[in-house]
């Protein structure tokens, strides 16, 4: 393997330490402790694990945990009332509705009840609109974590040819917009793209969020490119991403591993968004 590995675990630890310091400074400056309300509906085992990890991460940086759990058969009105309650609670800086919700609930309608200022996942229409217009708002965690990683490894973005594979509201679209904000030249690919390999080979930076195991091999990578693998898939042999890491590492200059690349950054950006939300709500956005 010749490519440098972009270490998301170490970068996330560093960012987490900075957040812990900033939370302590906010409180020392007379602010109130930031609080995150994770809302889990039902008993999906994977969602339980994700929420537990998020709550643990909050505790590590001094963010207060306002977790709420509703039963799988809860009705829409009760779930909506909980979101409304959290929306008006000044101790709650951020609200995260864990998806997917049980099939009988309208998750879009529940998400729409989260005020933009508390939308720490950055997924509401209001925050997506602010991002599209290049105005300040809370940004989705995975793509903003990727920007932090690229900056940490001094990967130049201005003028760079970037190809993003995937156009989801969660990853691909906001990724492209954040890269545009940083003056990259961005191409977005999707399932109808003609000759994906040829388009990807143009990229100085290739971000892959397609949800297909090892979709991208070395023939789709320009020698010396930086490759960011967002995909995560469980196989009998362990975890893998959307990129054939071992083969692509022979061609690329830098690559994110799976696990230990993008994944750890996603949670840490949730903490960063919660801190940002708390500061703005307290009129302390300019403070450290
Ligand atoms: P998604 O909503 O399923 O979107 C996948 C995107 O990839 C779609 O835009 C789709 O195109 C495109 N696509 C599918 N097949 C393609 C192909 N053959 N060629 C080109 N584009 C193709 O997935 P997502 O939520 O963005 O997530 C993507 C992956 O990242 C998943 O594996 C997910 O588990 C992972 N993920 C990881 C993290 C993390 O923290 N590490 C966070 C979020 C997601 P169409 O729009 O045309 O259908």
The CATH number of 30-117, from 3.40.50.10860, 3.40.50.970, 3.40.640.10, 3.40.50.300, is: 3.40.50.10860
Q: What is the pLDDT at residue 121?
A: 96
Specify whether 76 is catalytic: no
Specify whether 54 is catalytic: yes
Catalytic hit among 121, 204, 242, 244: 121
Question: What does the block give as tokens for 237?
Answer: 């042999």
Q: How many whole angstroms from 220 Cα to the centroid of ligand 1?
A: 17
Q: How many whole angstroms from 283 Cα to the centroid of ligand 1?
A: 37
In this structure, the dihedral spanned by the alpha carbons of residues 236, 55, 231 and 107, taken in order and rounded to 10 degrees, is: 110
Q: What is the pLDDT at residue 285?
A: 78
Q: What is the pLDDT at residue 287?
A: 44
User: Across the chain, which distance is largest between two alpha carbons, in Å?
Assistant: 56
| CATH 3.40.50.720 domain locations along the chain | 141-264
Q: What is the pLDDT at residue 1?
A: 64
Q: What is the pLDDT at residue 101?
A: 97
Q: What is the pLDDT at residue 68?
A: 98
Of the candidates 121, 142, 143, 155, the one whose C-alpha atom is nearest the C-alpha of residue 273 is 121
Q: What is the pLDDT at residue 284?
A: 84
| CATH 3.40.50.10860 domain locations along the chain | 30-117
Can you tell me which atom of ligand 1 is nearest the CA of 192? Answer: 47
**C-alpha to C-alpha distances, 10 to 23, 138, 265, nearest whole angstrom:** 20, 24, 10
Specify whether 222 is catalytic: no
Q: How many whole angstroms from 243 Cα to the centroid of ligand 1?
A: 12
CATH (residue range 141-264): 3.40.50.720
Q: What is the pLDDT at residue 288?
A: 39
Pocket of ligand 1 contains residue 212 by CB under 6 Å: yes
Q: What is the pLDDT at residue 184?
A: 98
Mean pLDDT in each 10-residue stretch from start to end of the chain (288 residues)?
94 98 97 98 95 96 98 98 98 97 97 98 96 96 98 98 98 98 98 98 98 98 98 95 98 98 97 98 74
């Amino acid at each position: 393997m010749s490519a440098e590995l972009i270490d998301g675990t170490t970068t996330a630890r560093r960012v987490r330490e900075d957040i812990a310091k900033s939370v302590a400074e906010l409180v020392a400056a007379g602010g109130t402790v930031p609080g995150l309300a994770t809302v889990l509906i039902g008993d999906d085992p994977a969602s339980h694990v994700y929420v537990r990890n998020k709550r643990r991460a909050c505790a590590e940086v001094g963010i207060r945990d306002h977790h709420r759990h509703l039963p799988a058969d809860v009705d829409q009105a009760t779930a909506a009332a909980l979101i409304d309650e959290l929306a008006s609670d000044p101790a709650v800086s951020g609200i995260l509705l864990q998806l997917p919700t049980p099939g009988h609930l309208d998750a879009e309608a529940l998400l729409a009840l989260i005020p933009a200022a508390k939308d720490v996942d950055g997924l509401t229409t209001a925050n997506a609109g602010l991002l599209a217009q290049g105005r300040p708002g809370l940004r989705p965690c995975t793509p903003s974590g990727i920007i932090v990683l690229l900056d940490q490894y001094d990967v130049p973005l201005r003028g760079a040819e970037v190809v993003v594979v995937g156009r989801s509201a969660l990853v691909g679209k906001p990724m492209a917009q954040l890269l545009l904000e940083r003056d990259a030249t961005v191409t977005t690919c999707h399932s109808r793209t003609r000759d994906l390999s040829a388009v990807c080979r143009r990229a100085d930076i290739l971000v892959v969020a397609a949800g297909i195991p090892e979709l991208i091999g070395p023939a789709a990578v320009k020698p010396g490119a930086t490759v960011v693998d967002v995909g995560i898939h469980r196989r009998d042999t362990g975890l893998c991403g959307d990129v054939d890491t071992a083969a692509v590492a022979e061609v690329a200059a830098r690559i994110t591993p799976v696990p230990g690349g993008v994944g750890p950054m996603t949670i840490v950006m949730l903490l960063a968004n919660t801190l940002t939300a708390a500061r703005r709500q307290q009129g302390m956005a300019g403070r450290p």
